[in-house]
Amino acid sequence: MSDLKHLDKGAIPDNWEVVALADITDPQRPISYGIVQTGPRVVNGVKCLRVVDIDGGQINKSDLITTSQEISESYRRTILRSGDLVMPLRGKVGDVGIVDDELEGANLTRGVALIAVKSGWSPEFIRQAISSRETRRQLENSMNGSALQEIPIATLRSFRILAPKGISEQRAIAAALSDIDALLSGLDRLIAKKRDLKQAAQQLLTGKTRLPGFEGEWEVRRLGDIAGIQRGASPRPIDSPVWFDDGSAIGWVRISDITGAGKFLLETSQRLSPLGVKHSRFVPAGSLIMSICATVGRPVITKIDVCIHDGFVVMDDLDAEQLFIYYVLKWVEPDWSRHGQTGSQMNLNTGLIKDLLLKLPSRGEQNAIANVLSDMDAELVALEARREKTRALKQGMMQELLTGRTRLV
């Protein structure tokens, strides 16, 4: 039989309790926000944590502001000690960081709360409990204010969490979840490293860096000279149901479909009826298209038959390796916004696109470069999928361990 008993928060295990944060914090250092006005930056002054310095439960110490010793002393109750918890009162509520020895003696700004966990309670466990998805949701619902929503200190002090009474069980739960956090942090670092390598490898698209075994000059050509560039078309009025058919095999590409896609477009949120296809521009699977409206310059290769509206162009009859041209367009994507025409939203005209100058190596080198970048993309996709699975695993563990459904001691 289950050892659950019923309290005011529902069914919880024996030897667990519902406690207010104020009851598990040092009474000499109650939950408080930090310095209201830190003043100008002071050389070798007291470091101060801001909301922006706490991200994903980590404290970024690389660009902390400083204040004078006098100002910090006037807010003595928020002078930090190792093991203290710090949490933004606005924006990233529930994003709790833990203070290490290096930050001992630092202080907080007005937007960050100190949670000084008292003896007999595990700061690591309290951090995990506050950071859980359910607690974050409750904290967000506790925010008030119109222009600048934040959690009042009184609300945070009275906020209640579920916790085991014994510190050994708290520590066991925190250790299990911290192991998953360490794995996630390692994956984040590896993904960041791989992205940096991919960024550096994009120099292959310029000819400044060459792959072994390739020589010779690169040729400068207009995009319009190596591809037939055609703009899409929209049936009118676009909101008429006669143009659409959920059972159709022909996708209708919207800007939102490609903003969430990667290199390849695998599906669309809408599909066109035969009549809709007749009044649009059909694009067969395996085509290179690019957005020219709103999210301008986003290239994607279609993996399904689709139709495109006038917010896209298709590049037919390429006299180059398609994947190489995709990576070139992806590389120059950020630059398009400087050349677009603004109205109700940013857009590009086909003349600008046709006049884009490209440096092209031999077809063999184009293919080799595209393969290198594609392999890097595949590795990143696999790592990101692994990270998402690990995050899902942690959420499942938190649901079990932080509610007492699964016991570790």
Domain membership of residue 27 (yes or no) is yes
Q: Which pLDDT tens digit goes with each residue over 24-67?
A: 999 999 999 999 999 999 999 999 999 999 998 899 999 999 99
CB 172 within 8 A of CB 409: yes
Range of the domain at 132: 4-165
Q: Lowest-confidence range among 3-12, 229-238, 262-271? A: 3-12
Domain membership of residue 190 (yes or no) is yes
Q: How many domains does the chain contain in total?
A: 3
22 with 122, same domain? Answer: yes
83 with 115, same domain? Answer: yes
Q: Which pLDDT band, with edges at 50, 70 and 90, does 145 fall under?
A: low
Q: Which pLDDT band, with edges at 50, 70 and 90, does 146 fall under?
A: low
CATH number of 296's domain: 3.90.220.20
What distance in Å separates the CA atoms of residue 296 and residue 56, rounded to the nearest whole number? 30
Cα→Cα distances 231→159, 306, 337, Å: 57, 14, 18
Final residue of a domain: which of 327, 342, 360? 360
DSSP-derived secondary structure letter, 94: T
Q: Classify burial at 21, counting beta carbons within 10 Å of its beta carbon; exposed 0-12, middle 13-18, buried 19 or more.
A: buried
pLDDT of residue 5: 44
161 with 171, same domain? Answer: no
Collapsing DSSP to helix, strand or coil, 5 comes out as strand
Domain membership of residue 211 (yes or no) is no
65 with 97, same domain? Answer: yes
pLDDT of residue 233: 93
CATH number of 385's domain: 1.10.287.1120
Q: Lowest-confidence range among 131-135, 272-276, 283-287? A: 131-135
Q: What is the DSSP string of 383-404?
A: HHHHHHHHHHHHHHHHHHHTTT
149 with 173, same domain? Answer: no
pLDDT at 345 over 70: no
pLDDT of residue 120: 93
Cα→Cα distances 317→329, 337, 385, Å: 16, 26, 34
Domain membership of residue 73 (yes or no) is yes
232 with 344, same domain? Answer: yes
Domain membership of residue 214 (yes or no) is no
DSSP-derived secondary structure letter, 102: G
Domain membership of residue 213 (yes or no) is no
The 3-state secondary structure of 245-307 reads CCCCCCEEECHHHHHCCCCEECCCCEEECHHHHHCCEEECCCCEEEECECCCCCEEEECCCEE
- With tokens 């590009």, the residue in question is 348
370 with 352, same domain? Answer: no
Domain membership of residue 334 (yes or no) is yes
366 with 353, same domain? Answer: no
CB 116 within 8 A of CB 84: yes
Domain membership of residue 91 (yes or no) is yes
Residues 6+ apart with CB under 8 A from 388: none
Q: Which pLDDT tens digit goes with each residue over 197-256?
A: 999 999 999 999 999 999 999 999 999 999 999 999 989 888 899 999 999 999 999 999
Q: Lowest-confidence range among 33-37, 288-292, 333-337? A: 333-337
Q: What angle do CA 213, 219, 220 make, to 5 degrees?
A: 140
113 with 136, same domain? Answer: yes
105 with 155, same domain? Answer: yes
266 with 313, same domain? Answer: yes
14 with 87, same domain? Answer: yes
